[in-house]
Structure 1
Amino acid sequence: MATLRDPERGCAWDQVQTLETLAPYTLEEAYEVVDAIERGDLADLQGELGDLLLQVVFQARVAEEAGSFAFDDVVRTICDKLIRRHPHVFEADGSPLADGPERLSLAQLDANWTASKAAERSEKTGRSEHAGGDLLGSVAKALPALTRAEKISRNAARHGFDWPDAASVIAKIREEVDEVADALGRDDPDHLAEEIGDLLFAVVNLARHSGIDPEYSLKRGNIKFERRFHAMAALIAEDGASLDEADLSAMEAAWQRVKRSKA
């Protein structure tokens, strides 16, 4: 990467990249890693992980040229963080605990991890979450909206602001659906967008209370829709028509046939 960035010996494209221009590629590569995992393609995963690692190396090199930090600093930082957040496994110097790891429940581990993150944020900002800091844990704004909504609501729940159970969230969803229906009758697109956002946020909380990752759930829903849509088109073609020629009633009939077939 140092050679690729070299003003005289390097590549013209690599030379002009900045942290800002590289950011979209980092997101894209992360999604491609997830895609390879979900497809169970380990050979492809190997390559995608390399592409993602390239982004780390590339950005570290840009930062090093600016005199900020280098790749070794990135590795050292994450090693220090792993040691700090696993006091039940490591001594402060990074060596394994002499008597072996302390056995904690998953709930205890999650609580300790959360407390450690909060302490790190307080140290970084110089103020605690309860004294003017970020009460919701500084959830990254670049996250997909569904994932960010889940994290925000989970952090709010840690402060006791939450529905008692999934059934209570269902009631909230019905309330939000009614508000969306009311907004549809107005000539106010901004208000409608806000109400639909409230509905989506409530659905995310239903997923959280049910132990479901909303982003993963919607991905599965997308895949199911695509599969059924193509199966519907195939059924219509079998009847001697094309999708563009079929009316809505014919498409709905074919769609119900696909659903009954468990496709």
Structure 2
Amino acid sequence: MTDAAYRESDATPGKPPGVAVERLVEVVALLRRHCPWTAALDHANLLQYLVEETYELYEVVDDVARTDEPDDELLEDLRGELGDVLFQVVLHAQLRAEAGSFGLAEVAEGLTAKLVRRNPHVFSPEGVLRSARPASVDDIVATWQAVKERETPARTSPFDGIPHHLPALAFAAKTLQRAGEERGGEAPPDDDEAEVGRQLLALTRRALSAGVDPERALRRATLDYQRHAAGDPEATA
């Protein structure tokens, strides 16, 4: 990729990340060599921390999103939680580097290439910034999906690639989105969101009163929906 692809990078606020990220990778590598606790970690026992840190970041991002002018303390919390999730990414990449597979540089290169490839309305195939702009958000989404389908030809169902370990509600929402059962891109009014939240809470209360695990019930219903949509005659709608 040529330097022309980064002509607008100087306008990005904040310090250049290069040196800081290189130091982070160095520190993680040193911890792996000199800290017995960190040295004992592997992909499997890191999973619990990845889930925990991701939910903590989710909570802070939601707090920021719901605040018109987040204060310094909240922004500091956001910065810290972003760092905790970044640590997980760097550590998993370090494990693969030690195994001789790839490192953080390859992860970043792969992500950059995918973003360029899936956003042809912004970048040329060489990664150079285009001057033209897309006609609509719908065009962008359609192009993204088309490129993604070309990248993963083995996926024959719209539900392929949805992680089954997602929380049941997120699993159901992603399934319905893939099935095209969603409203447009605009966020719902606050009163609509609050009412839906109350309804979900009431349904959860109903499930608990009936002795039903709401997480398991929704997960099973979503899997049935996927099978029904795929044409399984034994699946319930």
TM-score, normalising length: structure 2? 0.61
- Look up the equivalent residue of 1:136 and give its one-letter code: F
Distance of aligned partners of 1:148 and 1:65 in 2 relative to their CA distance in 1, 3 Å threshold: same
Shift of residue 135, structure 1, vs aligned partner: 3.6
Distance (Å, rounded) in 2 between the aligned partners of 1:15 and 1:46: 26
Q: Aligned equivalents of 1:36 and 1:194: distance in 2?
A: 24
Higher helix fraction: Structure 1 or Structure 2? 1
Secondary structure in 1 aligned to 2:91?
Answer: helix
Residue 26 of structure 1 contacts residue 52 of structure 1 at CA under 8 Å; is this kept in 2?
yes
2:56 aligned residue = 32
2:133 to 75, 96, 102: 102
Aligned partner of 1:2 among 18, 26, 29:
29
Amino acid at match of 1:24: Q
Give 3-state SS (helix, strand or coil) of 1:42's partner: helix
> For 1:155, which of 169, 178, 183 is the aligned residue?
178
Distance in structure 2 (CA, Å) of the matches to 1:32 and 1:194: 20
**Which structure 1 residue ranges, 4+ long, deviate > 4 Å from structure 2?**
192-196, 198-201
Structure 1 residues 15, 92: CA separation in 2 closer, same or farther (over 3 Å shift)?
A: same
CA distance in 1, matches of 2:45, 2:83: 19
Q: Which amino acid aligns with 1:59?
A: H
Task: Summarize deviations over 1:75-122 as a string: whole Å, max 9, x none.
Answer: 00110011001101101111112xx13323111211211222222111
Return the letter of the residue paired with 2:134. Answer: R
Q: What residue is the counterpart of 1:121 in the other structure? A: 152
Distance 1:120 1:163, change over 3 A: closer
**Equivalent position of 2:218 in the other structure:** 197
Task: Find out whether 1:67 has 2:67 as its counterpart.
Answer: no
Residues 21-76 of structure 1, C-alpha deviations (whole Å, 9 max, x = no match): 11121121111112112222211101111111111110000011111110100100
Do the aligned partners of residues 109 and 200 (structure 1) sit closer, same or farther apart at CA in structure 2, a change above 3 Å counting?
Answer: same
Q: Structure 1 residues 66 and 163 mapped into 2: Cα distance closer, same or farther (>3 Å)?
A: closer
| d(CA) in 2 for partners of 1:142, 1:101 | 40
The Cα RMSD (Å) is: 3.1
Cα deviation for residue 156 of structure 1 reads: 2.2
Matched, 1:111 2:111: no
Question: Structure 1's 194 and 18: CA in aligned 2 closer, same or farther, altered over 3 A?
Answer: closer
Larger Rg: 1
Identity of aligned pairs, percent?
A: 33
Mapping for residues 122-141 of structure 1, pairs under 5 Å: 122=153, 127=154, 129=155, 133-141=156-164
Structure 1: which amino acid aligns with 2:172? A
8 Å contact from structure 1 (residues 4, 15) kept in 2: yes
